[in-house]
Each structure stands twice: as C-alpha cells, then as structure tokens.
Amino acid sequence: MRLGFELLSKFKQESSQLRNEIDTLMNQLIKKVEDVHGEVKPEIYGDYKQLKNDIRQQRHDKEILLKNIDTLKKQTDVQKEKVAFCDQRVQEMETQVGMIAHTKCYKEGFEIPPTEKPTLEKLVTDTFMPKNSVMSSARLNAKSSQDELRPAAVLPRQHHNTEHE
C-alpha cells in the first residue's frame, strides 16, 4: 500500500508545483500586459485628446458656417424682393411709356386673324400705344378734342446700294 500512498503524495506535490508555476507565469503575464499598457497609454491618450480637440473645433466651424449660410439666405431673399420690386416698377414705367414688349401684339404675335382686318390706325395704336400708356392717353385726349390722329406716312424702305462702281 505504500506504493499507492507514495504515488498519491507524489501526484499532490507535482500538482502543487504546477499550480505554483501557473501562478508565477500568470503574474508575469499580468505584469507584462500592464507594462505594455503603461508604455502605449500616453500615445493613445495624446491621440484621444487630439481627436477630442479636432471634433470640438469642427463643431465650432460648422456652427459658424451654418450661421453664414443663414445670413446669406436672408440676404438673398432681401435681394430677390428688391429685384421683384424693381422689375415691377420697370414694367409699370414701360407700360406708361408704351414699350412694345408690353403690348398685346408683341405678346401674342404680330399675326392678324383672317376674320379681322384692322385699319392702319388701329394696328399702330394697338402695337405701339398700349392701354394705360402715356401715348394712348395723349391719343385719347387728342380724339376728345376732335383732333384726328393720322398715322405718319409709311414710306417703303429704300435699299441703298453699297457697292461701288
């Protein structure tokens, strides 16, 4: 029986020896991991701080750019309103002066429907003197005072010969 007890005690010694070696190796491993972490941590921490600062700066820049965009949108809207107002005023002035671009004939085309045969006076009046214009007011005043407005004689275009003999 001694042999069994001896083997059992030898097994216990070897197992405790292996446990001690495992504990020693584990402590060495933990120490080495801590050393690596201690050596790398300052670089990682520095990179982390730089990343945080970059993110903060980008947020600040973004806020400034968004404010600039809002300001530009407001300025653009104000300019659009001013342009629309000026365009309306120009159209009113052109209508008062009798600009051809605001006449019915110009907008719809200069073609005369076959059923309608206007006189030369009507054609000139409709084309060059739109309603509510200064020219049409003068024409109406002239008619009301029994003065006839006669269109100026329309002379055919003369083609000048530019060739030298």
Residues 50 and 105 in one domain: no
Q: Look up the pTM and report it.
A: 0.38
Q: Is residue 4 part of a domain?
A: no
Residues 23 and 73 in one domain: yes
What's the CA dihedral at 113, 118, 120, 124 to 10 degrees? -70
Residues 19 and 71 in one domain: yes
Q: Is residue 22 part of a domain?
A: yes
Q: Is residue 152 part of a domain?
A: no
Residues 78 and 122 in one domain: no
pLDDT on residue 35: 80
Q: How many domains does the chain have?
A: 2
Residues 66 and 123 in one domain: no
Residues 76 and 18 in one domain: yes
Q: Is residue 163 part of a domain?
A: no
The residue segments making up the domain with residue 126 are 100-110+118-141
Tokens of 110: 């200069």
Say which residue, 6 or 68, is predicted with more confidence. 68
The string of pLDDT tens digits covering residues 84-119 is 999 999 888 877 776 666 666 666 665 656 666 666
The string of pLDDT tens digits covering residues 43-82 is 787 888 899 999 999 999 999 999 999 999 999 999 999 9
Q: Is residue 67 part of a domain?
A: yes
**Cβ(133)–Cβ(98) below 8 Å:** yes
The string of pLDDT tens digits covering residues 132-141 is 555 555 555 5
Residues 69 and 123 in one domain: no
Q: Is residue 151 part of a domain?
A: no
Q: Is residue 75 part of a domain?
A: yes
What's the CA dihedral at 24, 25, 28, 30 to 10 degrees? -110
Residues 128 and 73 in one domain: no
**Cβ(30)–Cβ(37) below 8 Å:** no
The string of pLDDT tens digits covering residues 23-51 is 999 999 988 888 877 777 777 878 888 99
Q: Is residue 9 part of a domain?
A: no
